[in-house]
Amino acid sequence: MDLPLSQYWWLYLTRGILAILLGITVLLLPGVTFTFLVIFWGAYMLADGLFASVAAITDRHNRKGRGWFLASGIISLLVGILVLLNPFAWAIALVYIVAFWALLAGIIEIIAAIRLRKVIKGEGWYILVGVLTLLFGVSLLFSPLAGVVTLAFVFAFYSLINGSLLISLGLRLRRRNSKSTGGHRVEIV
């Protein structure tokens, strides 16, 4: 039986509450949270590398691309081990990766806005976003330790906003579910 989405309102509400709790935790403990995320990333890379390597070694039927798959697995294994051995250094590396991404994204946004100025109105706002993204990347490059805290706060605010939106959606779906069931509770068997 295909059930309407509104019957699962509580899933959205629960996800929203958890996201808000995560956001508050990150705001209260930004350094600890960022370190935990880096360690989690290292564990993921280790597991991913292990599974990719085992799959490449045991897959004798598919010889095409097997070497690349094994190489990818070994690299992931090594990165995972290195991250877990020194999460602080990899936290800084992650900040630099985000910094270079922001620099590249900012330049691309500015170029796109300039090229689109004859097609769109308000391209100045798009240029401003590009400049802000570029400045964000530069600030991360010149202050990577502050970048760790900044990235943690960006993640916290994202979690708070996302959580609020999910709670709102859950409550709206709950109201819709109540109206569609005539106020009666629907049991899912």
DSSP 60-114: -S--TTHHHHHHHHHHHHHHHHHHHH-HHHHHHHHHHHHHHHHHHHHHHHHHHHH
| pLDDT value for 93 | 84
pLDDT above 90 coverage of the chain, percent: 20
More confident residue, 8 or 171: 171
Q: What is the dihedral of CA 175, 179, 182, 188, to 10 degrees?
A: -60
Q: What are phi and psi of 150, to 5 degrees?
A: -60, -45
Residue with token string 């097609």? 119
Contact between 12 and 170 (Cβ < 8 Å)? yes
More confident residue, 181 or 85: 85
pLDDT at 6 over 80: no
Mean pLDDT of all residues in 112-117: 83
Contact between 121 and 170 (Cβ < 8 Å)? no
| pLDDT value for 2 | 41
| pLDDT value for 35 | 80
| pLDDT value for 63 | 63
| pLDDT value for 84 | 92
pLDDT at 12 over 80: yes
Residue with token string 């990150």? 26
pLDDT band at 135 (very low <50, low <70, confident <90, very high): very high
Contact between 174 and 165 (Cβ < 8 Å)? no
Mean pLDDT of all residues in 89-104: 86
d(CA 173, CA 157): 24
Query: Which of 5, 1, 3 shows the shortest CA–CA distance to 174?
Result: 5
Write down the mean pLDDT value for the chain: 83
pLDDT band at 94 (very low <50, low <70, confident <90, very high): confident
